[in-house]
Structure 1
Amino acid sequence: MNKAKKALLGTALAGAMVVSAGFGTYSWFTDVKEANGTIQNGTLTVGMDSNLFAHQNFAPSQMLISNWKTIQNTGSLDQQLRATYTHSIDKEAGIGKYKVGYMAIKYSVKPDAGTEAAFKEKFQRGFDKGITNPVMDQGLVAAKSKYEVVSGTISAEEAQGLAKAASMSKTLNFGKGKFWQLNEGENIDILFAVKLLDTAGNEYQGANYSATFKVEAKQTDNGAEFETENVK
Structure 2
Amino acid sequence: MKNVKKVLAATALSGAVLIGAGFGTYSWFTTSATVDGNITNGTLKITNQTPSGKVFSKEKFAPSQATYGSILAFKNTGNLDQVGKATYTATLTDAEDMNNVDLSKYSIIQIAVKYNSEPKNAIQLFTKYLDERTSNLTSNSLMAPQKPTFEGAVEVLEQELVNNSMNSLAANSKKESDIVDESKFWSTKPGQVIYVSHIAVLKSDAGNAYQGAKYNATFTINGKQTDARADWK
Instruction: Name the TM-score, length of structure 1 as normaliser.
Output: 0.76
Distance 1:220 1:126 in 2: 41
8 A Cα contact 1:154 1:173, kept in partner: no
CA distances 1:52-85 after superposition (whole Å, capped 9, x unpaired): 2322111111122112101111222111111111
Residue 148 of structure 1 is aligned with which of 155, 174, 182? 155
User: For the Cα contact (< 8 Å) 1:42–1:76, is it kept in 2?
Assistant: yes
Q: Share of identical aligned residues, percent?
A: 31
How well do the aligned residues superpose, as a CA RMSD in angstroms? 2.8
Paired amino acid for 2:218: T
**1:65 & 1:86 partners in 2: Cα distance?**
16
Unaligned 5+ runs, structure 2: 1-13
The corresponding residue for 1:131 is 143
Q: Report if the CA contact (8 A) 1:101-1:127 is conserved.
A: no
SS at match of 1:109: coil
Q: Equivalent of 1:58, from 47, 56, 61? A: 61
Between the aligned partners of 2:77 and 2:86, the Cα distance in structure 1 is 17
Task: Report the AA paired with residue 216 of structure 1.
Answer: N
1:10-32 C-alpha deviation (Å, 9 max, x unpaired): xxx99x95x76663232222210
Does 2:108 align with 1:108?
no
Q: How does 1:159-178 map to 2 (within 5 A)?
A: 162=171, 165-174=172-181, 176-178=182-184
Indicate whether 1:34 and 2:34 are aligned: yes
Task: Find the counterpart in structure 2 of residue 196 from structure 1.
Answer: 202
Q: Which has the higher helix share?
A: 1
What's 2:164 paired with? 157
User: In the alignment, residue 103 of structure 2 is paired with which amino acid?
Assistant: I
Q: Are the structure 2 counterparts of residues 98 and 210 from structure 1 closer, same or farther at C-alpha, using a change threshold of 3 Å?
A: same
Q: Shift of the alpha carbon at 1:123?
A: 3.8
Answer whether contact 2:64 2:201 (CA < 8 A) is retained: yes
**Number of paired residues?**
205
Select which of 62, 76, 79 maps to 1:76. 79
CA 1:123–1:32: 2 relative to 1, 3 Å:
farther
> Deviation of residue 189 (structure 1)?
0.6
What does residue 207 of structure 1 align with?
213
Question: For residues 21 and 71 of structure 2, what CA distance do their matches in structure 1 show?
Answer: 83
